[in-house]
Chain A
Amino acid sequence: MGLNPQVETVYKRPTTFTPATTHYCPGCTHGVAHRLVAEVLEEMNLQEKTIGVASVGCSVFAYNYFDCDFVEAAHGRAPAMATGIKRVLPDRIVFTYQGDGDLASIGMAEIVHSAARGENITAIFINNANYGMTGGQMAPTTLPGQKTTSSPMGRDIENNGFPIRTAEMLATLDGAGYIVRRSLHDPTNIRKAKKAIRLAFETQERGLGFSMVELLSTCPTNWGMNPIQSLQWIEEHMIPYFPLEDFKVSPILSQVRI
């Protein structure tokens, strides 16, 4: 618009983002997940009432990128911290942003009990099948046979057991209002992921209980792949183990038009 009537802005930086440049590696989809959350906060006009809870992992500095109030939790404790905030300020929107080591290993108790309590918070859960920040060690989501720096011969299920399908597990809890898994490996799936994130925040706005979107996400640096190979690796290896499904959707959400 403006000077040239033929030019229309179709894509811009969400106002819920700060001008900071992220520290994520090239090809890492943490940045995509950030953007989707920022877009949803903007579209739902939640910026002024949102408090984010960053976790410990590659997204530890998430608070530098979202232009809203933020706290930084200890490793795995983001849901507990979010609970504390939400209980004192029930009319605010509180979300956590956690990796798979953070949420599904050291913080498993906190996420399970938050979901079981029907804590009215939203968890954005980045499953990249390893501990990105500490240099690519085995995570509870590491696939059988997957090589990591702490499973150099590949994850041995005899020794290390099996990956955890967190979304499926949390969906068994009555307190959960919205639990789905999506992937960030191509534009179609990114659009679906955004819709899911929107529904998760709608769940919270409507007081329908705990909401979580598990996002399959790349870690090209630690996977030892280029960005394109990483996207393919999600599709070929992660999705078969971690299906992209709606595991729990509160019936009221079917009335939500977005």
Chain B
Amino acid sequence: MAKELLKGNEAIAEAAIRSGLEAYFGYPITPQTELLEWLSKRMPELGRTFMQAESELAAINMVYGAACTGARVMTSSSSPGISLMMEGISYIAGTEVPVVLVDVMRAGPGLGNIAPAQSDYNQIVHGGGHGDFRPIVLAPASVQESIDLTVEAFELADRYRAIVVVLIDGSIGQMMEPAELPPMRHIDRQRPTWAVTGAKDRDRRILSSIYIDPENEEETNLRILERWKEIEANEMRYKEYYLEDAELVVVGFGTAGRVALSAVRAARAEGIPVGLLRPITVSPFPYARIKELSNLACGMLVVEMNTGQMLLDVQAAVGGKIPVEFYGRMGGVVPLPDEIHEEISRLCYEPVAPSADPRESWMDRMDLAKN
């Protein structure tokens, strides 16, 4: 299939359709709405289910019900809506049914604004509602990668009977880039052996997140953990750029990672030995790879569009071995390559002392920049 100029949100919607999406339930919210609008036209055209729910709370619970039938299902929203979906996400995890969720992040807390941010890292990667589980979270940095990871998200959801989140920010959702869509996949109407479809010619099936006997719940928690270990072993994904001889490693995901790459390229052109690690799965998080890199490099720079949420995971991986510095823009402000380039140069030419919270020096520098 040839490349076309596609908008991120619409590309994800169409990629989901071509992955065999059977039912979508959602609620309008900027900067995600084009995704819902695209599906409102395309799904009925194809004889599939599209529904605008009365709230995100309803949408995620509709998706939960539809997932119990074994159909490929999806919902999407942006940060405030994702907050409302936390309940359903937890129940979906507890019932072990596959669901794909797209979060097109905006700035917060509260209503914040509709500009791009990476403010949901914590609520998705370390959250996903109450209880003991971890969602798979994929963080693309371009329209093409959003398409590819949407396709992948459905495969992973089915394979692990888990919730898979495609985590982008408003800029990826809204921008247009040349990209190639996958071919239309045939919908597999064969239902998995756990699905509720009506007990015809078989024993009845129950799908529930209740394990009233604590020992059974413990067993369930452990089963989910074991599956998670399998996911960690098999599904870790990240992209590396110029890391072979890098003395300074920049770590950033999604848009922040993409902007950082431009900065890394510019710094390389000046002869600075810097590279980039861009986690694709922010959950499972590439702790092991970052730990390895901390044995090879002399410093790390974490770049995010928040006040340092992934930073703590990078610090945990590095374990204090080398200095970890932080640069963030937030509130809907997207960092420019030059800002990150400047940070890279500073780290290269000025000695940095390891500090418990690199955000302190970053905040000092931010203040300087303002004056």
Q: Which residues of A contact B (CB under 8 A)?
A: 47-51, 53-54, 60, 63, 67-74, 77, 80-85, 87-89, 92, 109-110, 112-113
Contacts and interface: CB of A to CB of B under 8 A. Distances in A.
Contact of B198 (A69, A72, A110): A69
B266 interface: no
A85 B23 CA distance: 10
A113 B54 contact: yes
Contacts of A53: 65
A106 B142 CA distance: 40
B204 A69 contact: yes
B88 A74 contact: yes
Given A80-B57, A88-B69, 11 more contacts: A51-B198, A67-B199, A69-B204, A70-B196, A71-B207, A72-B208, A81-B64, A84-B67, A84-B69, A85-B69, A89-B197
Contacts of A92: 197-198
Contacts of A73: 61, 64-65, 91
B61 A87 contact: no
Interface in B66-108: 66-69, 71, 73, 87-88, 91, 95
Contacts of A85: 65-66, 68-69, 196
A102 B199 CA distance: 27
B243 interface: no
A109 B56 CA distance: 12
B210 interface: yes
A88 B66 contact: yes
A25 B74 CA distance: 41
A71 B208 CA distance: 6
Contact of A84 (B62, B95, B209): B62
Contacts of A83: 25, 51, 58, 62, 65
Nearest to B201: A48
Contacts of A80: 53, 57-59, 61-62, 64-65
B206 to A, nearest CB: 5
Contacts of B67: 84
Nearest to B50: A87
Contact of A69 (B57, B87, B205): B205
A80 B55 CA distance: 10
Contact of B22 (A48, A54, A77, A88): A88
Contacts of B345: none
A148 to B, nearest CB: 25
A44 to B, nearest CB: 14
A104 to B, nearest CB: 16
B200 interface: yes
Contacts of B262: none
A48 B88 contact: no
A24 to B, nearest CB: 16
B63 interface: yes
B332 to A, nearest CB: 30
Nearest to B72: A88
Contacts of B198: 48-51, 68-69, 89, 92
A110 B58 contact: yes
A112 B199 CA distance: 29
B208 A77 contact: no
B49 interface: yes
A67 B204 contact: yes
B151 to A, nearest CB: 21
A109 B53 CA distance: 11
Contacts of B73: 84, 88
Max chain B Cβ within 10 angstroms of own Cβ: one of A68, A80, A110: A80
Closest 7 pairs (CB-CB, A-B) = A84-B65, A81-B65, A72-B208, A84-B66, A80-B61, A84-B62, A77-B61
Contacts of A63: 206, 208
A47 B65 CA distance: 19
Contacts of A88: 22-23, 49, 66, 69, 71, 73
A135 B196 CA distance: 32
Contact of B210 (A51, A60, A69, A77): A60
Contacts of A54: 208
Contact of A87 (B62, B204, B206): B62
A72 B206 contact: yes
B196 A77 contact: no
17 contacts: A49-B200, A63-B206, A68-B204, A70-B206, A74-B87, A77-B64, A80-B57, A80-B59, A80-B62, A80-B64, A81-B68, A84-B61, A88-B22, A88-B49, A92-B198, A109-B55, A110-B54
